[in-house]
A and B are shown apart, each in its own frame.
Chain A
Amino acid sequence: MTFEYAPAPESRSIVDIKPKYGHFIDGKFVPGKKHFATINPATEEVLSQISLGGQSDVDKAVQAAQKAYTKTWSKLSGKERGKYLYRIARILQERAREFAVLETLDNGKPIRETRDIDIPLVAAHFFYHAGWADKLDYAGLGKSPQPHGVAGQIIPWNFPLLMLAWKVAPALATGNTVVLKPAETTSLTALLFAQVCQQAELPDGVVNIVTGDGSTGAAIVNHPGIHKIAFTGSTDVGKKIARAIAGTSKKATLELGGKGANIVFDDAPLDETVEGIVNGIFFNQGHVCCAGSRLILQEGIADELIEKLKVRMAKIRVGDPLDKNTDLGAINSKEQLLKIQELASAGDAEGAQRWSPACTLSAKGFWFAPTIFTGVTQAHRIAREEIFGPVLSILTFRTPQEAIEKANNTPFGLSAGVWSEKGSRILWATQQLRAGVVWANTFNKFDPTSPFGGYKESGWGREGGKHGLAAYLKEGK
């Protein structure tokens, strides 16, 4: 007997997408001048028209944030600030399904992930930081640490609402006000979040959202009324921001690229490890800065593990992101698809061997099959550059020291993984790895209590936990 595949699509009737959106400034939606289309990357259907924020929009948003900071938000007690954040967390939980569907439509990631990971983590981030608001004296930053003022926050398209939460929750908990720019291709959940701010009766101007492209982001970075920058995105743009603010007193946290090494020792439990490898690189289509994109296998188990991985990859369901069965959704944009294709071609050209399971990709939308490359050397571009797609580069090692050297041979330092049954070996490896997050016998786990951020060119500072608060506070006495 065979089981026929039956799609189980989540209904999109729960979301109400307007044909056109403005910016959210000073508690109100204000119309923009120019607009651009935001599409569903799985179908190329135009979902809505998004305002392209210019200098005057950013000026207005910064003015609103400054006014809210001096007149309202900085005068509130931590206790009251916290209660607003708790309200927001609760409303996000109430409207979780709506956010999950909207995120999946606009981003292309599977509903299984938005429903079970993104949106629950978003609510958790607000709930966690709500509790900090009146406890900042215990954050290890001295007595009465003070906010910076207006935080300019620029977030990426891979976890749109989650990155908003990582930025907005700690900023508000610590008493800062916010001007936030969502990524060009994924503005819709941020604009829905603006409605949540209204429902929570958050004072006007505490959160301002200006939509747009890179030029809008640059206007925020360069605005003299911004005191602190928080950016998640590419290392290239991160370096530009570092240069742009070099002559100012602006503080910055940067969460940038990665080329995470996932090391498998020969005593690792192979079946669990295969699950971890799949989660490490194919979670969110590999659009993950901390993805385990370099698999570093001990030679003795390499062939067996790669065979098991292929068997498992053949079971990955690629398709409609709204289908609750889907494992791998759409690539977020045509631009990103071209970048993945270009780097994968470089892998072919440089002599690595490509393998993908047979899978049918829709002619409409942007798709890339789950892919592994074997025979990869450290010099290959696919071992050095961030692909930001469902493409895994596999290298091998003989001695533990060699594994560490290969893992650390990168200008990045965001994440790493270690698979072994031996406790002392795991602790040794986690000590040697130059990365801000190390997952041992697991991968791609996130929590608001757990600091996240990179060594070296993967960024400045941490987000989450006690460590993340430091970015938004001036040290007290």
Chain B
Amino acid sequence: MASSKKAISKVTPRLEVKKTYKLYINGAFPRSESGRVYEVSNTKGGFIANPTLASRKDLRDAVVAARAAQSGWAKATAYNRGQILYRIAEMLEGRADQFASEISLASGVTLRKAQDEVATAIDRWVWYAGWSDKLSAAFGATNPVAGPYYNFTIPEPQGVIAVAPAENFLAFIDSIAPAIVSGNTVIALVPGSAAVAAMTFAEVLATSDLPAGVINILTGLHDELAPWAASHMDIDGFDISGIDKKKRTDLKVAGAENLKRFHHFDGAISPTRIYAFMEAKTVWHPIGV
């Protein structure tokens, strides 16, 4: 779709092969169990794609995949996680033109703006990649307790994090990169037209050596999916940056049942966005001969 003009031969007109937009769960591209889709069109009303309208059951499947993948991803060395995030940047760079034209088409921004957005997104992956092996230095400590004990604090990932970014590509990237770099796994709830670039991004993930289940992408409606994510007992944290302010209260009330960690952020990049979905663990051991 994105390169449709180029694909048509000058001699014989050729019909473009269009992509089916599905979901990304556990490293695979399933359709929704609900069989539902919704239409994304351009600013003039022209058809672009039929992304999948994910259901509660799809969300539950994604949580199962994310939970199963979490301990393995957290156990990977920080060096390894950093390299995989960097690899995502490499794969995105190679397809920057495709993303720019898709974003421009689906969201209606100029191609120039879309190109800037993709460039920023690539640089964000590079920035977050570098954090993987510096989190302990920034958020850990050795603590001089008053006694013969060695005592240290290290940050660890919380577990399974849901993210509900605003309806644009950069917000989507900004929600998933800081959540996974520490060793969390993610279920991204991508709304509206942002689904188009997000599902193409799933192809980037599928070729980046990211283990299956670390990032799972559901497309559709926040109003439909976010309440189920908020009340799901096996989701530890929820980035609700893209949720309308008035609708955050109900989600937080539902999430109180497992004391889910809710956070929302403005667009700025910050390591506190990573640490928000981490827990500090403190270990004591006696010192003696």
Contact = CB atoms under 8 A, between A and B. Distances in A.
Nearest to B153: A451
Contact of A457 (B250, B259, B272, B281): B259
B280 A242 contact: no
Contacts of A440: 283-285
Interface in A213-259: 235, 238-240, 242-243, 246-247, 254, 256
B259 A239 contact: yes
Contacts of A465: 141, 143, 153, 282
B236 A442 contact: no
B109 interface: no
Interface residues of B, number: 34
Nearest to A413: B279
A459 interface: yes
A437 B282 CA distance: 5
Interface string B142-153: 011111010101
B282 A452 contact: yes
Nearest to A437: B282
A29 interface: no
A242 B149 CA distance: 35
Contacts of B143: 447, 449-451, 465
B94 to A, nearest CB: 36
Contacts of A455: 158, 279, 281
A438 B283 contact: yes
A413 B159 CA distance: 13
Contact of A447 (B145, B272, B279): B145
B286 interface: yes
Contact of A254 (B158, B249, B253, B259): B259
Contact of A246 (B146, B249, B282): B249
A477 to B, nearest CB: 11
A451 B280 contact: yes
Given A438-B283, A453-B280, A246 B145 contact: no
B236 A467 contact: no
A462 interface: yes
B261 interface: yes
A174 to B, nearest CB: 17
B280 A436 contact: yes
Given A247-B249, A449-B144, A426 B285 contact: yes
B285 A450 contact: no
Interface string B241-277: 0000000111011011111010000000010100000
B138 interface: yes
Contact of B285 (A238, A442, A457): A442
A450 B280 CA distance: 11
Given A441-B286, A450-B153, A462 B259 contact: no
B228 interface: no
Contact of B138 (A124, A140, A457): A140
B227 to A, nearest CB: 13
A116 to B, nearest CB: 12
B256 A439 contact: no
A273 to B, nearest CB: 12
A456 interface: yes
B258 A442 contact: no
A243 B252 CA distance: 7
A125 to B, nearest CB: 11
Contacts of A430: 281, 283
Nearest to B250: A246
Contacts of A435: 281
B147 A447 contact: yes
A466 interface: yes
A256 B259 CA distance: 10
Contacts of A45: none
Contact of B259 (A124, A447, A451, A460): A460
Contacts of B158: 455
A449 B145 contact: yes
A450 B151 contact: yes
A242 B251 CA distance: 11
A475 B272 CA distance: 9
A438 B282 contact: yes
Interface in A346-384: none
Interface string A458-474: 01101001110000000
Contact of A438 (B141, B236, B256, B281): B281
Contact of A450 (B145, B249, B252, B272): B145
Contacts of A437: 281-284
A239 B139 CA distance: 27
A246 B284 contact: no
Given A140-B139, A445-B147, A457-B259, A451 B282 contact: yes
Contacts of A460: 259, 261
A9 interface: no
Contacts of B248: 246-247
Contacts of A462: 280
B284 A438 contact: yes
B283 to A, nearest CB: 5
A242 B146 contact: no
A400 interface: no
A440 B252 CA distance: 36
A229 to B, nearest CB: 13
Contacts of A426: 285
Nearest to B141: A466
B285 A441 contact: yes
Contacts of B249: 246-247
Contacts of B261: 460
Given A247-B249, A436-B279, A445 B284 contact: yes
Given A140-B138, A239-B259, A447 B146 contact: yes
Interface string A418-451: 0000000010001000011111111001010111
Interface of A: 124, 140, 235, 238-240, 242-243, 246-247, 254, 256, 411, 413, 426, 430, 435-442, 445, 447, 449-453, 455-457, 459-460, 462, 465-467, 475
Given A235-B259, A436-B280, A439-B284, 18 more contacts: A140-B139, A239-B256, A247-B248, A256-B259, A426-B285, A436-B282, A437-B283, A438-B283, A438-B284, A440-B283, A442-B285, A445-B147, A450-B143, A450-B282, A453-B280, A457-B258, A457-B259, A465-B153
18 contacts: A235-B259, A239-B257, A246-B248, A246-B250, A246-B253, A436-B282, A437-B281, A437-B284, A438-B283, A438-B284, A439-B284, A440-B284, A445-B145, A455-B281, A459-B259, A460-B259, A465-B141, A467-B141
Interface of B: 138-139, 141, 143-147, 149, 151, 153, 158, 236, 248-250, 252-253, 255-259, 261, 270, 272, 279-286
Q: Which 5 pairs, one residue from A and one from B, show the smallest C-beta to C-beta distance? A: A246-B252, A247-B249, A242-B256, A447-B145, A449-B143
